[in-house]
Structure 1
């Protein structure tokens, strides 16, 4: 959802999957390079958005993508539980919102 890519995209072949694509970007610190550019359309249209807001939004998005990778592990026992993922999403949201005030 956040990359704008479908798991069946033509780029995913020869062992490359959406999971590995996102995981590699997260490990190398390049999460923003895989994010769908449409995510930023609202911010770009709003000229009053400051650089600090954009930085916080990007940190939030990076945390969400990294959480998604943890939920997409191939083996079920390696995946984060739904309750832990929910708690982490709440933590990410609350951290983002607390920094906006």
Structure 2
């Protein structure tokens, strides 16, 4: 239940069992595979965008999409979406902010504020990439642009 590089592009095909109708099946890691692949849709770049979004949300929260807290319809996407923007710091992986904790004033406080803003922006990208419908997902050009913008903010940290 760990994302692998093969989850991006899902380049791995496996033959299905002889009693199944189709001649190919898709292999991917549970929680990272785009929902449309479960109903037999073709692999697309939007599927890769979904996997990237889930991985980004996992890195921000420290929770895998298969975490036991995700039950009764709750998933990683919904978990982050419910926390944005005001409660995101409550669900962020503690190690991401702990090295920057200060008294909230002065240089350390400004640094922490920029880091929190960067985490909120990253979470928004993760959410936009992991939308259920492929047509609603962020396109790769916008994703790269936003990631570069966030990188500039965080580099000034």
Give TM-score scaled by structure 1 length.
0.84
Runs of 4 or more consecutive aligned structure 1 residues displaced over 4 Å after TM superposition: none
CA deviation map 1:45-90 (0-9, x unaligned) = xxxx611111111111111111110100001001001111111111
Q: Larger Rg: 1 or 2? A: 2
2:132 to 74, 95, 98: 74
RMSD: 2.1
The offset of 1:94, in angstroms, is 1.9
- Quick one: distance in 1 between partners of 2:146 and 2:137? 13
Point out which structure has higher relative CO (alpha carbons under 8 A, 6+ apart): 1
Task: Provide the residue aligned with 2:141 in structure 1.
Answer: 83
- Matched length: 96
Unaligned runs of 5+ in 2: 1-58, 102-106
Task: Provide the residue aligned with 1:53 in structure 2.
Answer: 111
Task: Provide the residue aligned with 1:35 in structure 2.
Answer: 92
Give TM-score scaled by structure 2 length.
0.56
